[in-house]
Amino acid sequence: MKIKKFINNFKKYRFLLLELTKKDVKLKYRNSVLGFVWTLLEPLLTMIVLTVVFGTILNNKMEHFSVYILTGRLMYSFFSGGTKLALKSIRKNAGMIRKVYVPKYMYPLAATMSSFITFLLSLVMLVIVAAVQGVRPTKYLFGVFLPLITLFIMVAAIGFLLAVMDVFFRDLEYLWNVVTMLIMYMSAIFYQADKLLESEYWFLIKYNPLYSVIANFRNAVFGKPPEIFYMVYPAVFSFLVLVVGLFFFYKKQDKFVLYI
């Protein structure tokens, strides 16, 4: 019965979810001179810097190294940006929460969706760079959809947990900045993960669910078949975190108004 009630409630407020999502997207570019162009320009500039540092200076001979970096950088940016927006979503909308009833899960979900839209738009730059670099699409390119869906669920799931914790623990925002930086270094964004297979620290990369998603996304882009472990592991992780996150959110949401 609770699941049916949740579905009916979601249908009732789905238009509000769209409005909240559009509002977050507009706020992102409100004070930006370049606006949407920066969504394309920022990953491109970052890719150029990382390619020069880790490709030219450190003499990395990997073919299509720029595309390799850009795929990881874009997916990490969505993970980092989406979770940070979701983390602050409840406190940021404190005024609305005090005045009117809105299912509170709408706020972190809208934050995740707005970040995902920005991420999808930024993939245009990946298509351009891949074409320039001569990366040809293959039948495996259709495999990009599973990593994208898994990553969205992962960000939403973690976002629900962070949004609840941030209400009661205000310093979480600063701690999460440090955590995301550590996750970045364990996601093989600007170095080749296979060179660390024999390292004692390989398990930190292998069991990082974000790396699993990035690895299979790269496989699809570079025309390689998906790896089963990198499909199943992040999917199971994301589903379990989503269940825990929604349960935790449901149990604590009535207390939000006392702390925001």
pLDDT digits (tens, 9 = 90+) for 162-199: 999 999 988 899 999 999 999 999 998 988 888 877 78
CA distance 43 to 71: 10
Total domains, the chain: 1
The reply to whether 20 falls in a domain is no
Q: Is 77 among the domain residues? A: yes
C-alpha to C-alpha distance for 18 and 180, rounded to whole angstroms: 27
* Residue 17 within a domain: no
pLDDT value of residue 13: 80
Does 91 map to a domain?
yes
Q: What percent of the chain has pLDDT over 70?
A: 93
**Is position 242 within any domain?**
yes
Q: Tell me what pLDDT residue 216 has.
A: 95
Is the residue at 70 inside a domain? yes
- Identify whether 239 is part of a domain: yes
DSSP state of 34: S
Higher pLDDT, 34 or 252: 252
CA distance 196 to 5: 49
pLDDT at position 170, please?
Answer: 85
Task: Give the confidence band of 1 by pLDDT, cuts at 50, 70, 90.
Answer: very low
The pair of three-digit structure tokens given for residue 253, joined into one six-digit string: 């949401």
More confident residue, 239 or 102: 239
- Give the residue numbers spanning the domain of 88: 37-259
Q: Is residue 10 included in any domain, yes or no? A: no
Tens of pLDDT, residue by residue over 56-111, are: 666 667 788 889 999 999 999 999 999 999 999 999 988 888 888 888 999 999 99
Contacts of 101 (CB under 8 A, 6+ apart): none
